[in-house]
Structures are given as structure tokens and as C-alpha cells.
Amino acid sequence: MELNELKSSLDITSLDEYRKSKKKMIDKQEVILGFSSLVIFGVLYGYGYYQECENKFIMAFGGTLVLVVLPLWFLVKKSIKEYILFYKTKVLSPIFKILGLEVEYFPNNHTVVKKLFSKSKLLLSYTGFKSTFLVKGSYEKMAFLFADVRLDKERDQDTKEKFKGLYLNLDFEFNSQLIIDVLPDHTKNIDFVKMLNIQRHKPVKLNHDGFEKLFVVYSNFPEKARELLDDNFITTIINMRANHKKFWFTIRGGSLHIMIEDNNDYFEIDSKNPIEKTVEIHYDNIKMVYACLKKYKEIFQSKSRQLSINIFN
């Protein structure tokens, strides 16, 4: 379905009227919050001055925070959450249905996504994990899910950086015991440094300088890892790296786990943005995700049989 057909299937006008009314309410609450804070702070500070209090500034600040800022900010956040939930249930979920996609959209499944991401071992050291949506479905008989991921990841002991991207999980029914981790190489391709990573399995040497400058490979079955990462596969992965600034993958628990770090807010929702504009952005993002799913399926489908056999008996 084209974008114009999608728009005509949604009642954009009435949906945007609700958005405008909600935005007006949020704006009003924010103005009241700011004005009330100034007034109460002034009154409390004046009272402290009159009473000759030594800590009149702290008294005024603390009183304003407790009496005005926290209660009114709670109301503002409540209104914002109400609008986000409205858009997710009344607009985003129908978009998937209208596009004829066999998916289930879950607006708030932070705990489920965090558990799946943890099992993937795409990253081992991170804090402040957050996810705002989860999509489950099937594509040409292959089960998949994708979700947004936001966190702080540790590059080294003293450095943390913000991370924002897309997590994909494709069920190829690989052997559930097989582990292959293809990760960004922060070791500068130094074999000794790779071996120091005791949280991973054995490092796998591929003798491909171009690939090993970008990625480091760990596996509990190196022969299968080399079988997967043949010359044609490596060339494809290098070309894909040119399209995506940062991406890597693991094979664990029978599934393919993919991380794309692109700092994209895939389904960001803001009452300041007209419904029509937001729908256009989300439509493009959905198409982009499905293009990724199609591409990854094509790449790994040919390998699924050789990675599904029982290799441990």
C-alpha cells in the first residue's frame, strides 16, 4: 500500500484534532508549572527574608519543588504519556494492519525486550536500558521481532557512550547450542587482546584483513563459524557495513540477533508534530525495517540448513 492510500485509510483530521487539544492542554500545564513555581518561590523567599532565615534560598527552593514542581510535572508527564498511548493504539497499531503486515505491536514491553536483548549477548556491559516498543510477526514463514533499544554502553572501564538503535531477532531455527558472535572489533585486530575477552568463547581467525579490521568473531564451534563466514558471505557483510554505520550480529539460542546502531527514533511520538507528518515518518521507518528483514533473510537463509544440524553429537 502506498503512503497516500494509507493516509486516506486513517481519519487524519479527527486524529489531529485530538492531538491539538492534547498539545494545548500540555502547553497550558507547562505554563502553569512555570508561573506557579516563580510565584511560590517568591512568596517563600520573601517569608524567609521577613523571618530572617539564614537558609531562605534553600527553604524557598525546597518548598517550591515539593509544593509545585513535582505535583504539576507529574500532571504534565501524565498528559504526555496519555497522548503517546493514544497514538500507539489509534494510529500506529492500525498502520501495521492497514499495510497488511502479519504483526503484533506492543507499545510498552520494556521488560520483555530487555530479557531478549540480554540473551542475545550483542552487548555485555551497559546501563540504563530502555525500549519503547516491540513488534512480533512472521515474514515468509519466518518468525521475527524487532524493537528499539536505548542504553549507555561501556567502551572501556572509564568511558560510556549513548547508544540508540534497532534490535532484530530472526528465528532461523539454527542449532540451539551453536554460538557465533560477530562483533565490532575494538581490539585493533590484535589476537592476544581478543583472547583476553573471557566473557566470550574462542576467537575465530578468518585470514581476511578487510573483515577483521571491522569485526571480531567468537564461537563455541569455530569450524561452523568459518563455514558460515566464507568469502561470499564476508563480502556481503562488508558491503552491508557500508550501508549501515554500525551493525553486528550473534547466533544464539537458535536465532539470529542483529543490532543496528543508527541513532534513529523509529517510532518517536511528540504532540508537537502533526499526525500526518508523524505517519509519514513511521511509514518510511516500517518500510526500512522490512527491507532489512528481507535482506537478512536472503543472506542467512542459504546457511540455515548447515547451521541447523546437530553438530555436538
Provide block-wise average pLDDT over 10 residues at a time, the chain (313 residues).
80 92 94 93 89 86 91 92 87 80 78 89 84 86 88 64 85 86 72 54 83 89 87 86 80 91 82 91 87 84 68 50
| The model's pTM | 0.77
Question: Residue 6: which of 102, 97, 106, 136 has the closest Cα?
Answer: 97
Res 305: pLDDT? 67
Write out the H or E segment, with its range, that includes residue 259: strand 255-261
| Whether the Cβ atoms of residue 86 and residue 18 lie closer than 8 Å to each other | yes
The span from the CA of 211 to the CA of 238, in Å, is: 7
Question: Residue 145: which of 175, 112, 178 has the closest Cα?
Answer: 112
Quote the longest CA-to-CA distance of the chain: 85
pLDDT (tens digit per residue) in 155-187: 555 556 678 889 999 988 888 888 999 998 765
CA distances from 307 to 117, 179, 250, 298, 312 (A): 22, 10, 13, 15, 12
pLDDT (tens digit per residue) in 77-91: 999 989 988 888 888
The span from the CA of 115 to the CA of 181, in Å, is: 18
Residues in the chain: 313
Res 193: pLDDT? 46
| Whether the Cβ atoms of residue 184 and residue 246 lie closer than 8 Å to each other | yes
The span from the CA of 48 to the CA of 57, in Å, is: 8
Output the nine-digit C-alpha cell for 16. Answer: 489531529
271 DSSP 8-state letter? T
